[in-house]
Chain A
């Protein structure tokens, strides 16, 4: 029987994704159940020093696919590297963070190896040595637990759900080069442009401040942005205001936007349409600020303030500013 977990570590421009470290940490927590070893695979150009940061997350081994051909992402080259990594350690499971790179890469490799794939896992059930992933569907209106009947299975793990487990001691493990024969690359990334929007990605933010119709117009985003700045939060939005053209779709939370699970979600002037709730209902704490006391959002909020968000939010920002300057 196959055993072990291979974790695909995503890096861009010399930065390892936090969500990849979450996946690696979860692999470490699960390896006693699964049996075998945890292997981390990092792919890129000049990523050897980056690979040196990984042992403290407790893999048994780090594989490094380092080549000029991996400088910019391409599905085909990265797929070749992941397939090679899988061949070299024959894992039972492959973990990756559920990012847009994974959404492009992991299913492609799963299809090549004729193995099942479960995306956006938020929990695991265990039966014997088997992991049975649980994930939201219908943007969290329902959950599904799956069982595998396969020697190999792929899972992508939702950001912000699994804790990072980092050793403060010096931990060592073998770091080995992985040779990859890439083959033909018919499509590749040629340039990358940083977005003008959030500095913190919505799906990775631990605090989100989101606005809906109640902010009255796009000229009022700075009111919410000031609160974001004080809290180190990302700015979210309801579908209504995205469709109205008040803000870019990248900020949309909900069923046709992003599904998020932050520690704190502050909904400002958002009524709580079912498809919005679906995208944020798994947040740990929800604060609702809305001038309609009957708004659906209050049924889901941990704490509710009935009031005009354009009046409440600046006061909240001011108080947090005071708090921050006292610390």
Chain B
């Protein structure tokens, strides 16, 4: 099997977020960058598939210099080869642009299965996997928590509100991965050492044949402004013994906050 994984470099979930001076982005100064947590399930599923069915695994990431460490992390976990898609034109692309760039990089790869995290933590768009499937004209199963592959057929279990649904389809296909799909392995020391020596292929807009397609003036969406959330008003701690506090709380919820 030929298996592709798409990963994103994102701020650690414990990071405090500050807004950059231009108010169009976040300030990455001092922020620890990690593989987006949902992508770890994508990497793990690709590795498991390869162990079961044989084949090769390739990881792709669109991004600046920060993507290099994330690609090495994928290699350290056992992915065979890495492709770094990097170009100044690709800065702040947004989901549709990112999906177009990934599609350009993946379209001739002959992949049987393509895995993405269900969302990039931080951007929280949940868009790239379904867009990528459309642009590659492939079927999809998104937000999956279980996957079985038999020949060129798949059966995936996906989360929906209050239920799970089972999607059956044919390969090649795009899958987006949700927590619960598997237990991602940690990179081994040996894997980390080996990953350091591996070469990461770099592809720019020209190499992908999409130069000039993402210039700022042809973009259909842009960030107008980023801001921090409004501070919550200072709350209060209640007094007295437990019984008194419980009574006071109920009273406040009914008469002051009016939420029950």
- Report Cα–Cα, A148/B220, bound state, in Å: 6
| Interchain nearest-CB distance for B15 vs A (Å) | 8
With an 8 Å Cβ cutoff, the count of chain A residues facing the other chain is 98
Q: Is the interface of B mostly helix, strand, loop or mixed?
A: mixed
- Report Cα–Cα, A264/B258, bound state, in Å: 10
Name A256's contact: one of B38, B140, B165 (CB within 8 Å).
B38
Interface 1/0s, chain B 131-149, versus A by CB < 8 A?
A: 1111100111111000000
Interchain CB contact under 8 A, A138 and B164: no
Interchain CB contact under 8 A, A186 and B169: yes
Interface 1/0s, chain A 205-243, versus B by CB < 8 A?
A: 001000000000000000000000001000000000000
Q: Mark the stretch among B79-87, B192-200, B236-244 that contacts chain A.
A: B236-244
Name A132's contact: one of B158, B224, B257 (CB within 8 Å).
B224
Q: Is the interface of A mostly helix, strand, loop or mixed?
A: mixed
Name A307's contact: one of B160, B245, B259 (CB within 8 Å).
B245
Interchain CB contact under 8 A, B162 and A198: yes
Interchain CB contact under 8 A, B220 and A116: yes
- Report Cα–Cα, A257/B179, bound state, in Å: 9
Interface 1/0s, chain A 121-136, versus B by CB < 8 A?
A: 0000100000010001
- Asked if A269 lies at the interface with its beta carbon under 8 angstroms from chain B, I say no
Contacts of A319 in B (CB 8 A): 246-247, 250
- Report Cα–Cα, A257/B118, bound state, in Å: 12
- Which residues 75-118 of A have a CB within 8 angstroms of B? 75-76, 79, 99-101, 103-112, 114-118
Contacts of B133 in A (CB 8 A): 75, 108
| Interchain nearest-CB distance for B93 vs A (Å) | 11
- Asked if B206 lies at the interface with its beta carbon under 8 angstroms from chain A, I say no
A-B contact pairs, 8 of them (CB 8 A): A17-B161, A103-B143, A107-B134, A150-B221, A189-B167, A195-B163, A198-B162, A282-B229
3 closest A-B pairs by beta carbon, nearest first, are A187-B169, A116-B221, A187-B139
